[in-house]
């Protein structure tokens, strides 16, 4: 059965989701946030996405935030395509308009840390904020907007509380190139994929460290990056266990980490920090842009410190995360704590 799908937020990942939906013949509208006017205007004029630089499917309609009420109230599925910094706006402006029969599916990755160290994924945040009987679901796993728009094979997971709704969403979006697993472990999936943003900074430190030692023209060194990747997965697995997630879901966080470290502003920030630049100077190089990786790293560091204070975690189990936290707090000229990564299981 064909669905009316409303994508709220004209960012790259939300917009890229129009491709598998259109492949299956669904009716799609992309509604921009108040910050997306230029993207919507460009899409109307050219049929392409302004920042993703990819064409969007024929038949997709583009509207500014003025059309939000009319569009959302008639939707069969509402896809949340805002960044983590738009979660509050989505909760306040969009959720009251969503019909109770229309599930919400979010591409937004992130968590909120609580004073007791709990890490709460965004679907749970939406549940608490809405106080309505809505179905909140989310997408996790390694998938870049560019390659999804190019119809390259991608493997993700849809998570939520209701198996029947998850299977309906899978049927709606799955294509020969977009492969969807389903899981009711919302805490585990969302924790795993959110953490990749924090640890992508850590893996990228190796790039900057080599550049600091050998100059800007240094060839890429894969051994240190691989070591930091492995340590990242180890620490992500430990956090996943703390939050009660299923251990197998680390595959989505690890895969997402893999695609994140190959490019983008998070890689550049990690590289600059690895060179020895203080955080404030590194952000200046990035023209003051606010990164989701910084936000989730700080939240995770705070959570682990709170849990350690309560005797529920040990900081020594998270040497890379604590190192990332120190760098974000302004520490400089601190070497990666390689020795702290060593284990002795004999």
pLDDT of residue 174: 98
Using the predicted structure, report yes or no on whether residue 289 has a pLDDT greater than 80.
no
| Core vs surface per residue 280-309: b (16+ CB within 10 A) or e | eebbeeeeeeebbbbbbbbbbbbbbbbbbe
| Residues 7, 60: Cα–Cα separation, whole Å | 10
- pLDDT beyond 70 at 216: yes
- pLDDT tens digits, one per residue of 182-193: 999 999 999 999
pLDDT at residue 290 in the model: 63
pLDDT tens digit string along 194-209? Answer: 999 999 999 999 999 9
Average pLDDT, the chain: 94
Q: Residue 179: beta bridge partners?
A: 155
Chain centroid to Cα 314, Å, comes to 26
Looking at the DSSP assignment, which residues form a beta bridge with residue 178? 154
How confident is the model at residue 251, as a pLDDT?
96
Lowest-confidence region among 4-18, 229-243, 273-287: 273-287
Say if residues 191 and 119 touch (Cβ distance below 8 Å).
Answer: yes
- The residue-averaged pLDDT of 123-152 equals 95
For residue 156, the model assigns a pLDDT of 98
Q: How confident is the model at residue 286 (pLDDT cuts 50, 70, 90)?
A: confident
Q: What's the pLDDT at 170?
A: 98
For 123, phi then psi, to 5°, come to -60, -35
Alpha helices in 76-121, H assignment, sequence order: 87-89
pLDDT, position 215: 84
% the chain with pLDDT above 70: 99
Per-residue pLDDT, 198: 92
- pLDDT at residue 317 is higher than 80: yes
pLDDT confidence bin for 334, thresholds 50/70/90 = confident
Q: What is the mean pLDDT of residues 74-78?
A: 98
Q: Which two tokens stand for residue 38?
A: 């230029």
What mean pLDDT comes out for the span 242-266?
Answer: 93
Q: What are the tokens at 278?
A: 């203080």
Write out pLDDT tens, residues 164-186.
999 999 999 999 999 999 999 99
Q: What whole-number distance in Å separates Cα of residue 262 and Cα of residue 66?
A: 37
What average pLDDT does the segment 236-245 reach? 96
Q: What percent of the chain has pLDDT over 90?
A: 88
Answer yes or no: pTM beyond 0.85.
Answer: yes
pLDDT per residue over 81-119, tens digit each? 999 899 999 999 999 999 999 999 999 998 999 999 999
Mean pLDDT over 301-305 rounds to: 97
């Amino acid at each position: 059965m064909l669905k009316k799908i409303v994508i709220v937020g004209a960012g790259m990942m939300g917009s890229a989701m129009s491709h598998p939906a259109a492949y299956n013949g669904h009716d799609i509208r992309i509604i921009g946030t108040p910050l997306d006017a230029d993207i919507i205007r460009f899409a109307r004029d050219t049929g392409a996405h302004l920042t993703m630089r990819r064409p969007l499917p024929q038949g997709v309609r583009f509207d500014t935030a003025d059309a939000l009420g009319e569009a959302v109230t008639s939707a069969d599925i509402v896809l949340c395509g805002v960044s983590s910094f738009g979660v509050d706006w989505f909760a306040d402006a969009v959720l009251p308009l969503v019909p109770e029969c229309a599930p919400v599916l979010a591409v937004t990755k992130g968590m909120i840390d609580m004073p007791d160290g709990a890490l709460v994924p965004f679907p749970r945040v939406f549940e608490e904020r809405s106080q309505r009987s809505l179905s909140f679901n989310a997408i996790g796993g390694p998938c870049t907007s560019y390659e999804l728009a190019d119809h390259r094979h991608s493997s993700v997971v849809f998570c939520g509380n209701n198996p029947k709704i998850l299977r309906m969403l899978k049927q709606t979006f799955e294509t020969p190139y977009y492969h969807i697993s389903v899981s009711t472990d919302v805490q585990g999936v969302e924790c795993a994929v959110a953490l990749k943003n924090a640890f992508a900074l850590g893996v990228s430190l190796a790039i900057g460290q080599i550049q600091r030692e050998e100059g800007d023209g240094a060839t890429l060194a894969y051994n240190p990056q691989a070591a930091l990747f492995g340590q990242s997965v180890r620490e992500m697995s430990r956090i996943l266990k703390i939050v009660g997630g299923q251990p197998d879901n680390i595959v989505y966080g690890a895969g997402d980490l893999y695609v994140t470290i190959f490019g983008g502003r998070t890689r550049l920030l990690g590289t600059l920090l690895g060179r020895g630049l203080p955080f404030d100077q590194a952000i200046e190089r990035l023209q003051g842009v606010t990164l989701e990786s910084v936000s989730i790293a700080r939240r995770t560091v705070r959570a682990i410190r709170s849990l350690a204070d309560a005797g529920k975690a040990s900081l020594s189990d998270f040497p890379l995360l604590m190192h990332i936290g120190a760098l974000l707090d302004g520490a400089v000229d601190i070497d990666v704590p390689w020795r702290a990564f060593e284990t002795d299981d004999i």
